[in-house]
Amino acid sequence: QLQLQESGPGLVKPSETLSLTCTVSGGSISYYYWTWIRQPPGKGLEWIGYFYYSGNTNYNPSLKSRVTISIDTSKNQLSLKLTSVTAADTAIYYCARVVDTEGYYYRPWGQGTLVTVSS
């Protein structure tokens, strides 16, 4: 059974880079789409971007200039880097596998990790 676990600093200073890792267990990170999604406290979900095992990426246009998503197949990990963060980037960050049958949907999700941007 595929399981995902996000990890990384819970506090990041404004203007710095947010870096998170998603460790995949119970299956290989290869041959799938993988995505990051975030949720500001008390608000809705926002898609950040995806990485396809072939190396293709696609990012939310509103974040594209600041986001990089990559994978490390040797560690079975997905990573997210978001540069020049501000308080508006404070959110719970989720990683998820993308299922590409009957459209593209997310299953399973990690439990999420809260990142607060503050000095």
Question: In 3-state terms, what secondary structure has residue 88?
Answer: helix
Q: Residue 47 to residues 44, 58, 75, 95: CA-CA distances in angstroms?
A: 10, 11, 24, 10
- For the segment 53-82, give every residue that binds other proteins (CB under 8 A): 58-61
If binding is defined by CB under 8 A, does position 10 make contact with other proteins? no
Nearer to other proteins, 58 or 83 (CB): 58
Out of 70, 104, 114, 116, the only residue in the binding site for other proteins (CB under 8 A) is: 104
Residue among 44, 55, 118, 119 that touches other proteins (CB under 8 A): 44
| CA angle, 32 then 96 then 16, to 5° | 110
Q: Which of 94, 95, 83, 92 is nearest to 115 (CA)?
A: 92
Contact segment (CB under 8 A) with other proteins among 15-23, 40-48, 69-77, 78-86 equals 40-48
Closest by Cα among 49, 67, 66 to 58: 49
Question: Does 110 participate in binding other proteins (rule CB under 8 A)?
Answer: yes
| Pick 16 or 21: Cβ nearer other proteins | 21
Say how far apart CA 32 and CA 69 lie, in whole Å.
14
Binding site for other proteins (CB under 8 A): 35, 44-47, 49-50, 58-61, 94, 99, 101-112
